[in-house]
């Protein structure tokens, strides 16, 4: 707004409650809860976080701000889901298949439908509605081979003012006719989409070869060349999800040293690489991923739902890996990052390394934002960050409320909601400083 030549800032808004702000990585702390601070209020202005601190001090500094009172509730950064497949929304929770059977039985037939822009628009809107209702404000999504699927997703997110990352999935073999592109068309379609969408508003592009078995060496080479031309893009793919998948990769790439080498040999290993699953890593793979500071994404509900294995969170974090958290919908069985955190905790228990509530909340926000190289903008409540946040009701059901009443501190209270909460716990969601 301009008045007599002066640009006025939008009116500030104060959210009052228990405001969670991370100051360090809790995995690096002797006591994970020491990595965070809890404030009384946060000020939003012009799509950004202007300040946080005591309510009285902020109210005095911003006397004309509208006040939203969420006393007793937890105000935190919106969830960041670092690995999803929005085209699998309609087939989530399909019964009983291993990875390769899942793709052939459910995923590929559904993805065939996304050549229709009308259908892609419908599913993109449905997906963003569902995830927003669960408190997720940013996702990194695979689309299908169809450019229309990317246009639909970015258009839906743009209309909502939402920060998302996405890319056209590239496959030129081991997929049905109608779901295969070519090395040249994958390169050219992706390049056109980068030109159209990357860096527009709050949108970012991820170069997206699905995984080595569905790309020929020629296509992987083309994707590596594209990434070299656009190094500011992310590159997302899958790595070492299931043992039978790894055996298949070994048969398709007999000269490769390991699964990661099928990417590394074609220029698809780098700091802006985002590798989903990464459960069954060889020592060389772990070393190379860490050397490049590449990101790994833990997808616990998917890993248990289709029987993939138990991710080594404690070992990989201790070794210095950059790790995010994700639902992996629709191989993952829930749109909820609360359910995803609960599953991550359970997998940690099975490995003898349970995670603290601080670590789980960090993974679902700052950790995933770091994996997507967006942690300077989203994933935390701190001055200057984009105002994507949620208000978490820590007594959303009678079962949770009675446990919260016995909680000794904020972490015990939050943990009950992590383990038992669902979309009823999401009291409010704010995207770009606007209440949804």
Place of tokens 């990661």: 260
Question: Nearest-5° angle of CA 362, CA 154, CA 133?
Answer: 50
Rounded distance between C-alpha atoms, residue 241 and residue 99, angstroms: 8
> What angle do helix axes 117-133 and 147-159 make, rounded to 10 degrees?
40
Note whether 240 and 278 are within 8 A (CB). yes
Q: Is there a contact between 35 and 23 (Cβ–Cβ < 8 Å)?
A: yes
**C-alpha torsion sign, points 21, 23, 24, 30:** negative
Domains 2-78+380-435 and 79-371 share a fold: no
CA distances from 98 to 102, 174, 304 (A): 6, 16, 11
Peptide bond into 330 cis (omega under 30): yes
3-state secondary structure of 310: coil
| 2-78+380-435 under CATH 2.30.40.10, yes or no | yes
Q: Could you tell me the two tokens for 3?
A: 């008045």
Nearest to 304 by CA among 274, 285, 273, 328: 328
The Cβ of residue 409 has, within 10 Å, a number of other Cβ atoms equal to 11
Q: Omega before 49 cis (within 30°)?
A: no
What CA–CA distance (Å, rounded) separates 63 from 389?
22
Going by their DSSP bridges, the two strands 203-209 and 6-7 should be labelled as unpaired
Q: What pLDDT digit, counting tens, does each position of 34-64 carry?
A: 999 999 999 999 999 999 999 999 999 999 9
CATH superfamily of 79-371: Metal-dependent hydrolases (3.20.20.140)
pLDDT of residue 5: 55
How many C-alpha atoms does 27 have within 13 Å on its Cβ side? 22
Q: Model confidence over 230-274: pLDDT tens digits? A: 999 999 999 999 999 999 999 999 999 999 999 999 999 999 999
345 is written with which tokens? 């905790």
Residue 33's CB is within 10 A of a number of other CB atoms, namely 15
Q: How far is CA 341 from CA 73, 346, 422, in A?
A: 19, 9, 11
- One digit per residue, the tens of pLDDT, for the chain of length 436 reads 444 555 667 899 999 999 999 999 999 999 999 999 999 999 999 999 999 999 999 999 999 999 999 999 999 999 999 999 999 999 998 886 777 787 878 888 899 999 999 999 999 999 999 999 999 999 999 999 999 999 999 999 999 999 999 999 999 999 999 999 999 999 999 999 999 999 999 999 999 999 999 999 999 999 999 999 999 999 999 999 999 999 999 999 999 999 999 999 999 999 999 999 999 999 999 999 999 999 999 999 999 998 999 999 999 999 999 999 999 998 889 999 999 999 999 999 999 999 999 999 999 999 999 999 999 999 999 999 999 999 999 999 999 999 999 999 999 999 999 999 999 999 999 999 999 9
Tell me, what's the pLDDT at 7?
A: 60
What is the token pair recorded at 108? 């590929």
CA 237 – CA 275 distance, rounded (Å) = 5
In angstroms, the CA 292 to CA 249 distance is: 22
Other CB atoms closer than 10 Å to residue 129's CB: what's the count? Answer: 14
Residue showing tokens 């993952």: 332
Two tokens at 312?
Answer: 């080594």
Q: Is 10 helix (H, G, I), strand (E, B) or coil?
A: coil
Q: What is the pLDDT of residue 1?
A: 44
313 with 347: CB under 8 angstroms? yes
Alpha helices by DSSP H, 377-436: 398-404, 410-420
User: From CA 421, how far away is CA 133, in angstroms rounded?
Assistant: 13
Euclidean distance between CA atoms 94 and 104, whole angstroms = 12
Confidence at residue 207, expressed as pLDDT on a 0 to 100 scale: 99
The first and second tokens of residue 209, run together, are 């070869």
Q: Using H for helix, E for strand and C for coil, what is the string for 203-267?
A: EEEEEEECCHHHCCHHHHHHHHHHHHHCCCCEEEEEECCCHHHHHHHHHHCCCCCCCCHHHHCCC
Give the start-to-end residue ranges of the domains of the chain: 2-78+380-435, 79-371
């Amino acid at each position: 707004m301009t008045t007599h030549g002066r640009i006025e800032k939008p009116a500030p808004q104060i959210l009052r409650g228990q405001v969670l702000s991370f100051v360090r990585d809790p995995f690096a702390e002797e006591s994970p809860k020491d990595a965070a601070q809890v404030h009384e209020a946060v000020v939003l202005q012009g799509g950004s976080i202007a300040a946080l601190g005591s309510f009285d001090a902020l109210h005095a500094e911003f006397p004309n701000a509208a006040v939203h009172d969420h006393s007793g509730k937890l105000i935190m950064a919106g969830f960041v889901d670092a690995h999803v497949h929005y085209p699998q929304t309609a087939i989530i929770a399909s019964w009983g298949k291993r990875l390769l059977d899942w793709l052939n039985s459910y995923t590929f037939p559904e993805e065939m439908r996304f050549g229709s822009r009308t259908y892609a628009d419908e599913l993109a809107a449905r997906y963003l509605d569902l995830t927003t209702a669960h408190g997720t404000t940013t996702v990194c999504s695979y689309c299908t081979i169809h450019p229309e699927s990317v246009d639909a997703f970015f258009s839906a997110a743009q209309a909502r003012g939402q920060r998302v990352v996405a890319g056209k999935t590239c496959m030129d073999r081991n997929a049905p006719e109608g779901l295969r592109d070519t090395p040249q068309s994958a390169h050219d379609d992706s390049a056109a989409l980068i030109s159209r969408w990357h860096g527009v508003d709050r949108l970012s592009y991820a170069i997206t070869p699905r995984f080595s078995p569905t790309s020929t060496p020629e296509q992987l080479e083309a994707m590596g060349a594209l990434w070299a031309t656009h190094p500011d893009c992310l590159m997302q793919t899958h790595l070492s999800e299931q043992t039978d998948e790894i055996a298949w990769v070994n048969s398709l790439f007999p000269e490769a040293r390991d699964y990661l080498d099928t990417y590394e040999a074609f220029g698809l290993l780098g700091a802006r690489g985002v590798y989903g699953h990464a459960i069954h890593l060889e020592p060389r793979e772990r070393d190379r991923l860490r050397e490049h500071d590449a990101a790994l994404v833990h997808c616990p509900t998917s890993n248990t739902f289709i029987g993939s294995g138990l991710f080594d969170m404690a070992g990989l974090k201790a070794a210095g890996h950059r790790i995010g958290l994700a639902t992996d919908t629709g191989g993952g069985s829930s749109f909820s990052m609360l359910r995803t955190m609960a599953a991550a905790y359970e997998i940690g228990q099975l490995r003898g390394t349970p995670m603290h509530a601080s670590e789980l909340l960090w993974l679902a926000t700052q950790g995933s934002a770091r994996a997507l190289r967006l942690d300077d903008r989203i994933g935390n409540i701190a001055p200057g960050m984009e105002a994507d946040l949620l208000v978490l009701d820590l007594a959303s059901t009678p079962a949770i409320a009675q446990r919260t009443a016995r909680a000794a501190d904020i972490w015990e209270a939050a943990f009950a909601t992590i383990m038992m909460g669902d979309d009823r716990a999401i009291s409010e969601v704010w995207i770009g400083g606007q209440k949804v």
